[in-house]
Amino acid sequence: GAVVSQHPSWVICKSGTSVKIECRSLDFQATTMFWYRQFPKQSLMLMATSNEGSKATYEQGVEKDKFLINHASLTLSTLTVTSAHPEDSSFYICSAGETGYTEAFFGQGTRLTVV
């Protein structure tokens, strides 16, 4: 199956700083990628749909100015958590789909801890 790589796998940052998380499709092109957030012992919540060459589509309740998404190429989407606060500490995971496949491929996830 296709491979989606996410980086970093974990990051610790200070309150008020910004953190960028990368999601790459390694062997296929993805016009659309998805970003999810997961709090401890909870399910994955869809945050936004990242669209190559256009603005991301955010789910209700997700602050677009807080979670900046850039999908500048067919193989890379980035999620930047701006002015991070401890309540942003979570597990962030991306997915991408390859044309012709019904299965979505997930990155390994990024555990963000804001101190």
Partner 1 sequence: SQQGEEDPQALSIQEGENATMNCSYKTSINNLQWYRQNSGRGLVHLILIRSNEREKHSGRLRVTLDTSKKSSSLLITASRAADTASYFCATEFSGGYNKLIFGAGTRLAVHP
What's the rounded Cα separation, in Å, for the pair 91 and 88?
9
Q: Which is nearer to partner 1, 13 or 44 (CB)?
A: 44
What's the rounded Cα separation, in Å, for the pair 101 and 58?
24
Q: How many residues make up the chain in this entry?
A: 115
Q: Which is nearer to partner 1, 78 or 95 (CB)?
A: 95
Residue 103 interacts with partner 1 (CB under 8 A): yes or no: yes
Q: Which of residues 61-90 bind partner 1 (CB under 8 A)?
A: none
Q: Which is nearer to partner 1, 82 or 97 (CB)?
A: 97
Residue 20 interacts with partner 1 (CB under 8 A): yes or no: no
Which residues contact partner 1 (rule: CB under 8 A)? 1, 32, 34, 36, 41-46, 49, 59-60, 91, 93, 95-97, 102-109, 111
